[in-house]
Structure 1
Amino acid sequence: MSYPDTYYKQTMTDWKVRPVLSGAVECDTVIVGGGLAGLTTALQLARAGQAVVVLEAESVGFGASGRNGGFVSPGFATGSDKIAGIAGAEVARQIHLLSIEGVEFVRDTIGALKIEGARPQHGLTSVLRYDDGESLKVHAEEMERAYSYHLEYLNTEQVRSVLKSKRYFHGLRDPMAFHMHPLNYLRSISDEIERLGGRIYEGSAATKCALGGAEKVIATAGGRVKARRVVFTTGGYTGPLNGRLKRSFLPIATYVMLSEEAPDLIRTAIATTDAIGDNRRAGDYYRLVEGGKRLLWGGRITTRAASPAALAAELRREMVGIYPQLKNLKTALAWSGLMSYARHLMPQIGEMQPGVWHCTAFGGHGLNTTAIGGKLVAEGILGQSERYKLFKPFGLSWAGGYAGLAVAQLTYWKLQAQDWWRERAA
């Protein structure tokens, strides 16, 4: 078993190496961070004719944007009741509609740019690990009533006909959600940005900034960018460049593993092309890739980086606990990525000072919410809308530093214990 790289990087369709910034350049907007939020912002600005520069410390999609499970589905990491409690019922409704719009935005972008390498596969099933089908029926009815969004309820027999496990009871299938190859999606967006005249510099970490004047300056080891506006989209890899931003969220690691090729064995456990996620906090999520030849499995979170090999062992134990028939399925790769979580578990989107924008803290939200965040920032910069202000209640509040990390880890362990007790009762 080896852990040299991610599956997504090994299966990239675009191996273009982009230049390192050298010397001074000027543009309308400079974007710090080449993940999904930053690239979506750049794409929308370039489509509107703006001169755009993207600075990426590593390579396009290096962070969690290009290493995640590839799920594209509506919703947020926290519940609608908590969102409404902070922002009000109508704002909560508008925000959820944005998450649905984000799914369509990603789908439309794949179609418009003919991103064959994204390999979108429709269908996502969320399953319960305890017996409470009524709660799922109520949720499906509420989604239909409030948003005209259809979810298919699956009873225990239907769930177990495709997921051969006694650990699962009821489920909700979302036929409009989908899963895809996130890194190929990101790199295709990068190609389109460059086709439209945008410039992307890899290996170009931002080291200094001057944000006080009308002209903003971002410096790297080899050059600098002058712009009228700056957008920070650095997520879990944010350094000390912008202290206010760095203090406002916690970097959280998540883990993914990929199985060997074993289609016949995998079919004894999983007989669906849907992506699967369970109801637990930071629970399991998985999907078949390469036409069912391999199983990609993710889950677990830690507040400090852990060995992918050790975490892969934990993920394997979880997988085998659900599907004992997969005990001989070998792991080929395992990797991790850093996400950013705010204390309120919602994205942080807005203008922190004139000409300085932020779009971050998308940990656990899915590719759609990250994409719609970038679209909202671009709309704000272009004067097309002020929809980004819907996220004003979820600001850049201090995340607690090292104490916040400790609290986050303790909270995760508490939730794990609650999950265990609820499932044991079932």
Structure 2
Amino acid sequence: MVITSNFKPTSYWWEAAPIGPANAVTPPPGVDVAVVGYGITGAHAALAVARAGRSVVVLEADGIGSGSSRRNNGAIVPYLFQKQYELEARFGKVQGTEIARIAVDAVDFLLETCDELGIHAQVRGFDRYFLALTDKHREKMYHSCALQAESSVNTGWVPISAEDLQERTGLSGYAGSIFVSNSLTFHPGIYHQGVIKAAEDAGAVTVAYNPVTSVRSTTNGTLLSTPKGQVLAKDVIVATNGYTGAPFNYAKDGLMSVRIYNSATEPLPDGNKAAQFAARHLLVDSSPTSPGSGQVRTANAFL
């Protein structure tokens, strides 16, 4: 919904990291590995494969950097958008805990990548609050904290009362909150751009605006058809995440569905922000869209 005449339809992140060109017009006829999707996941996959000395082509359906890797709120979070009790209910305690720990480790991996590749992704710290709208919502979040502590999943979540929340932030009308000290934000476009440069410097071939239309197994590997030509790959990495569809519908079973909405205001005057909040906070309404759906309606307010 557009509510202003000067609505900006493009991501703020694209100003410093615009949608980029590919380094090839057509895919090579054969490679060791084909990576499908060139978001952050696909870029890291291509970098790892190229550094290992294997030939790799990346097949991107749209422009490079046009997807969610450069259209998000820029938060670096050591958790998934499913609470610990939801992970354990779906995958069991052992696997649910391991999945949660992978998300914690991913933060260290991202920061180490910035250092290794010299990516100046504008990483900054701030306080984050997950807001509970009802007593039931609060108790579920507190329960998730307890399960994390029990399983030694170090997300830094701390339950706080409604009174403590109001004292810290000035917000009233909420049933409580989860407080996360020194959460991190970054510029996802600059980060993504940096990993892509490293992958291509290492030898990755990339073809944009070139969706995979069909996949067929052969005795020599997997044949992928695209509008710009066919490529035979010994191995295929599907890195399409939330964009996964035909011809990779089978991969959807491995995805955890989370529905998240992002919206942004126009830049606000400093005086306006300072009058409302004296400190920098990220406030999150993470109430479920429906009980047991595994989907979250997330509204972020960075103040």
Give TM-score, length-normalised by structure 2. 0.80
Amino acid at match of 1:35: G
User: How far has the Cα of 1:187 moved from its partner?
Assistant: 1.4
Say which SS state the counterpart of residue 50 (structure 1) adopts.
coil
Aligned runs of 1:158-237 on 2, under 5 Å? Answer: 158-175=164-181, 177-237=183-243
Q: Which residue of 1 aligns with 2:299?
A: 285
Q: Which residue of 1 aligns with 2:53?
A: 49
Check the 8 A contact 2:145/2:159 in 1, yes or no: yes
Of the structure 1 ranges 218-227 and 74-83, higher mean CA displacement relative to structure 2 is found in 74-83
Amino acid at match of 2:109: F
Q: Which residue of 2 aligns with 1:423?
A: none
Partners of 1:109 and 1:29 in 2: how far apart? 22
Check the 8 A contact 1:153/1:172 in 2, yes or no: yes
Partners of 1:189 and 1:84 in 2: how far apart? 33
User: How far has the Cα of 1:100 moved from its partner?
Assistant: 1.0
Check the 8 A contact 1:118/1:181 in 2, yes or no: yes
Q: 1:69 aligns with which of 68, 73, 78?
A: 73
Q: Which residue of 2 aligns with 1:259?
A: 266
Partners of 1:53 and 1:163 in 2: how far apart? 49
The percentage of aligned residue pairs carrying the same residue is 20
Amino acid at match of 2:265: L
Check the 8 A contact 1:124/1:275 in 2, yes or no: yes
Amino acid at match of 1:227: A
User: How far has the Cα of 1:24 moved from its partner?
Assistant: 3.1
Say which SS state the counterpart of residue 46 (structure 1) adopts.
helix
Partners of 2:275 and 2:297 in 1: how far apart? 22
Q: Which residue of 2 aligns with 1:337?
A: none
**Quick one: structure 1 residues 20 and 203, their matched pair in 2 at CA, closer, same or farther if it must change by over 3 Å?**
farther
User: How far has the Cα of 1:66 moved from its partner?
Assistant: 1.9
Q: Which residue of 2 aligns with 1:336?
A: none
**Quick one: structure 1 residues 253 and 145, their matched pair in 2 at CA, closer, same or farther if it must change by over 3 Å?**
closer
**Quick one: structure 1 residues 239 and 79, their matched pair in 2 at CA, closer, same or farther if it must change by over 3 Å?**
closer
**Quick one: structure 1 residues 148 and 84, their matched pair in 2 at CA, closer, same or farther if it must change by over 3 Å?**
closer
Partners of 1:154 and 1:221 in 2: how far apart? 54
Q: 1:143 aligns with which of 145, 148, 153?
A: 148
Asked if 1:124 is matched to 2:128, the reply is yes
Say which SS state the counterpart of residue 61 (structure 2) adopts.
coil
Check the 8 A contact 1:57/1:204 in 2, yes or no: yes
Q: Which residue of 2 aligns with 1:100?
A: 104
Check the 8 A contact 1:42/1:193 in 2, yes or no: yes
Partners of 2:299 and 2:36 in 1: how far apart? 30
Q: 1:5 aligns with which of 6, 10, 22?
A: 10
User: How far has the Cα of 1:140 moved from its partner?
Assistant: 3.8
User: How far has the Cα of 1:139 moved from its partner?
Assistant: 4.5
Partners of 1:140 and 1:236 in 2: how far apart? 27
Deviations 1:168-218 (CA, angstroms, capped at 9, x unpaired) = 342222236422222222111101111211122222222333234332222
Check the 8 A contact 1:155/1:169 in 2, yes or no: yes
Say which SS state the counterpart of residue 57 (structure 2) adopts.
strand
Partners of 2:286 and 2:26 in 1: how far apart? 48
Say which SS state the counterpart of residue 230 (structure 1) adopts.
strand
Partners of 1:171 and 1:115 in 2: how far apart? 34
Partners of 2:260 and 2:145 in 1: how far apart? 31
User: How far has the Cα of 1:134 moved from its partner?
Assistant: 6.6
Q: How many residues align?
A: 288
Asked if 1:85 is matched to 2:85, the reply is no
Check the 8 A contact 1:215/1:226 in 2, yes or no: yes
Q: What's the RMSD between the two structures over aligned residues?
A: 3.1
Partners of 1:278 and 1:71 in 2: how far apart? 14
Asked if 1:22 is matched to 2:26, the reply is yes
User: How far has the Cα of 1:144 moved from its partner?
Assistant: 3.2
**Quick one: structure 1 residues 68 and 16, their matched pair in 2 at CA, closer, same or farther if it must change by over 3 Å?**
closer
Check the 8 A contact 1:120/1:181 in 2, yes or no: no
**Quick one: structure 1 residues 92 and 284, their matched pair in 2 at CA, closer, same or farther if it must change by over 3 Å?**
closer
Aligned runs of 1:261-340 on 2, under 5 Å? Answer: 261-281=268-288, 282-288=296-302
Deviations 1:216-257 (CA, angstroms, capped at 9, x unpaired) = 222322233222011222234345333434698789673422
Partners of 2:254 and 2:132 in 1: how far apart? 33
Higher helix share: 1
